[in-house]
Amino acid sequence: MSKREDEGCARKRKTEAGPKSEDCTRPDSPVIAAFKVFQHELDTKHDKYERLVKISRDVTIESKRTIFLLHRVTSVPDVEEILNEADVKLDGVRQKIGQIAEELKGEDLHQFHRAFTPGIQEYVEAVSFHHFIKHRTLISLEEINARLVFMRENKGEGEVVWASPSVLTFQITPIDYLLGVADLTGELMRMCISSVGNGDIDTPFQLSGFLREIHDGFSYIGNTGPYEVSKKLHTLRQSLGKVEDACYTLRVRGSEIPKHMLADVFSSRPATHLDREDPMV
């Protein structure tokens, strides 16, 4: 075939393909209509994801403020006043979590889990810290979820409120619960050092036994659990090491060090005896 004939065939093929490509660009094309539906679904999902991220940030901020407030129990005479104030703050955090439950209504939780998991972990840390100060025990996942039940008014057309309100629930996943408890150990270590600095010698020994039980519980999971949990085992072991180091110093050298210097001594000494353990399997 000559070059001129080949060019003629190419022009013929382009002419034949022309009307088909024009059909795809028409506004009433079924392909365009299908992609518009996809665009709307993706935009809706992305907007919901961004709203959940913003709510999660608010939950994180308020939970951290609650934790900072609870650390004052080691230096104030009226512990109940601090606990009551923390209860009010935690109620506000739960209302924020109620907004997350509204956003997830009818949705797959795991599609948006990464958007709100940092805030939920911080809430678990705050509520478990509050529960430990009040009861000296670890709050269970069932107890946390039992408080995440919300009543919402059903609104019809024209903002008319229907008679029966709806019930929304939010269930914290076991992974978020474990990650929140792992972060709790760091707050308990800080509470131990603050207690010693204020002359409280009994609290470090209570915290040491409690942290050892948490550490033993996590050791059963080992490397078989979620990756995020195994990453926090190192920090957990460091916190336990510092608390045990403080208890050792109090028991052996407590009479040699002035009470107002104990906190500085403990905070400046690294805890390395747990870091030399073999990795848990």
Query: Quick one: how far is CA 280 from the chain centroid?
Result: 24
Are 59 and 94 members of one domain? yes
Based on the domain organization, do 147 and 185 belong to the same domain?
no
- 77 & 149 share domain: yes
Structural domain of residue 59, as residue ranges? 35-153+166-172
Q: Which residues pair with 167 in a beta bridge?
A: 151
215 and 106 within one domain: no
What is the number of domains present in the chain?
2
Annotated binding site for Mg(2+): 125, 187
Query: Do 124 and 192 lie in a common domain?
Result: no
pLDDT tens digits, residue range 107-164?
888 899 999 999 999 999 999 999 999 999 999 999 999 999 998 776 555 454 455 6
Residues 123 and 182 placed together within one structural domain of the fold: no
Q: What percent of the chain has pLDDT over 70?
A: 77
Q: Rounded mean pLDDT of the chain?
A: 82
* Residue 276 forms part of a structural domain: no
Which residues make up each annotated binding site? 125, 187
| 86 and 118 fall within a common domain | yes
Dihedral over Cα of 101, 102, 106, 107: its sign? negative
Residue 280 belongs to some domain of the structure: no
Are 182 and 232 in contact by the 8 Å Cβ rule? The answer is yes
Is residue 267 included in any domain, yes or no? no
Judgement on whether residues 144 and 199 belong to the same structural domain of the protein: no
Residues 188 and 91 in one domain: no
Instruction: Judge if 217 and 133 occupy the same domain.
Output: no
Query: Whole-angstrom Cα distance, residue 125 to residue 177?
Result: 8
* 52 domain residue, yes or no: yes
Q: Residue 200 is which amino acid?
A: D
Q: CATH code at 98?
A: 1.20.58.190
The residue out of 113, 140, 172 marking a domain boundary is 172
For residues 70 and 148, state if they share a domain. Answer: yes
- How far is 154 from 137, CA to CA, in rounded Å? 39
The answer on 108 and 178 residing in a single domain is no
CA angle 75, 80, 202 (to 5 degrees): 50
**Taking 70 as the threshold, does the pLDDT of residue 268 lie above it?**
no
Whether 264 is covered by a domain: the verdict is no
pLDDT in tens, 50-103: 999 999 999 999 999 999 999 999 888 889 999 999 999 999 999 999 999 999
State residue 155's pLDDT score.
58
What CATH number should be reported for the domain holding residue 198? 1.20.58.200
Q: Kindly state whether residue 24 falls inside one of the protein's structural domains.
A: no
